[in-house]
Amino acid sequence: MWERILTYEIQPEDAGRTVAEYLRSRGFSRHLLIRLKTMPDGITLDGVPVLPSHRFFFDRVKALLTIRLREEEASEHIAPVPLPLTIVYEDEDLLVLDKPPDMPIHPSMGNYENTLANALAYYYEQQERPFIFRCINRLDRDTSGLLIVAKNAYSSVVLSAQMKERHIHREYLAVVQGLAPERGTIDAPIGRQPGSVIARCVDPVSGEPAITHYSRVAASPDGTYSLMRIHLDTAAPTRSGYTWGISAIPCPGISSTVPTTGILGGSPFTPTGCPSPIPSPGRR
């Protein structure tokens, strides 16, 4: 069993509020509150178990609200495998990982023991800790870059909400063929390519929004290649990523590779400006 303990000092001005109202204002979801309710001491006030419906009343300066998040079960069907794992940042609530190219994030058909989730499951196993895979953002198999993994249910709820609200910012670097424009925006709805469950294509009729802003960082002296900085303006990273594989910007040629995630930041749980190194020659 693993436990994460969170404490809050309840002030006199909180009198009249319920525990649920207080915790909801700090990002706790209804589902998480229901889960805490089932634990004997999941929520305590000055050491006394209370329910989410408990209302704060004060005859003293302050009180201590304690939340205990426990995990006993692990994610199923993710085998621990000793694979390379590059940790850029870690604390009690999250991990920032640098995913290499040609590595899937989670197991799927034909990829059962070669994924980032397998490597992380092994990392947790060495700590004798239950492993529940809570990956906040996504990257394609061939894309290298930073991934945020929540280490408990609370950080997962908060980070997922902030990702949805676009408070976590992501930038990519991509190498493209030819001398690209100095800056611009790709606005090309992306949909599933007919006959494929993986490939995508521009689909103005039924495609989902995919907006990506780009700027040229550098170019080779002969104009053969350009290094581009890419900022996603849509909620789904894969849709914007696919844009680069369909030659949607007016360049002589577009590389289908988005080699690195540059920055993840903007969240109270997330360190600002975690860089991911550009892959060495020969890496995607």
Give the model confidence (pLDDT) of 141-193 as tens digits. 888 889 999 999 999 999 999 988 888 887 888 888 899 999 999 888 888 88
Q: In terms of pLDDT, which residue wins out, 91 or 275?
A: 91
Instruction: Give the Cα separation of 158 and 27 in Å (integer).
Output: 6
Q: Is the pLDDT of residue 242 over 90?
A: no
Residues 6+ apart with CB under 8 A from 178: 223, 224, 225, 226, 251, 252, 253
The strand pair at 183-187 and 211-219 is best described as: antiparallel
* pLDDT digits 0-9 by tens, 35-75: 999 998 999 999 999 999 999 987 667 899 999 999 888 88
What is the reported pLDDT for 200? 82
Instruction: Give the Cα separation of 16 and 37 in Å (integer).
Output: 20
Instruction: Give the Cα separation of 39 and 70 in Å (integer).
Output: 9
User: Shortest CA distance to 260 belongs to which of 180, 183, 174, 186?
Assistant: 174
Q: Give the range among 175-179, 224-228, 231-235 with minimum mean pLDDT.
A: 231-235
What is the reported pLDDT for 274? 57
Q: Is the pLDDT of residue 123 over 80?
A: yes
Torsion angle of the four alpha carbons 253, 255, 260, 265, in this order, in degrees rounded to the nearest 10? 50
Active-site residue among 59, 140, 203, 222? 140
What is the reported pLDDT for 218? 94
What is the reported pLDDT for 251? 36
Instruction: Find the distance separating the first CA and the last CA of the chain, reported in whole Å.
Output: 39
CA dist 33 → 5, 38, 255, 260 (Å)? 15, 9, 47, 37
* Beta bridge pairs of residue 71: 2
* pLDDT digits 0-9 by tens, 97-111: 999 999 999 998 889
Residues 6+ apart with CB under 8 A from 150: 93, 94, 134, 136, 156, 159, 160, 269
- Helix-strand-coil split of the chain, %, nearest 5: 15, 30, 50
What is the reported pLDDT for 263? 39
What is the reported pLDDT for 60? 67
What is the reported pLDDT for 132? 95
Average confidence score pLDDT of the chain: 83
Instruction: Give the Cα separation of 209 and 230 in Å (integer).
Output: 16
Q: In terms of pLDDT, which residue wins out, 218 or 276?
A: 218
**pLDDT bucket at 244, cuts 50 / 70 / 90:** very low
Residues 6+ apart with CB under 8 A from 232: 170, 172, 211, 212, 240
Q: Say whether 140 is catalytic.
A: yes
CB atoms within 10 A of CB 253: 11
DSSP state, residue 194: T
State the pTM of this model: 0.77
**pLDDT bucket at 120, cuts 50 / 70 / 90:** very high
Q: What mean pLDDT do residues 74-84 have?
A: 92
Q: Is the pLDDT of residue 255 over 50?
A: no
Instruction: Give the Cα separation of 38 and 70 in Å (integer).
Output: 11
What is the reported pLDDT for 94? 94
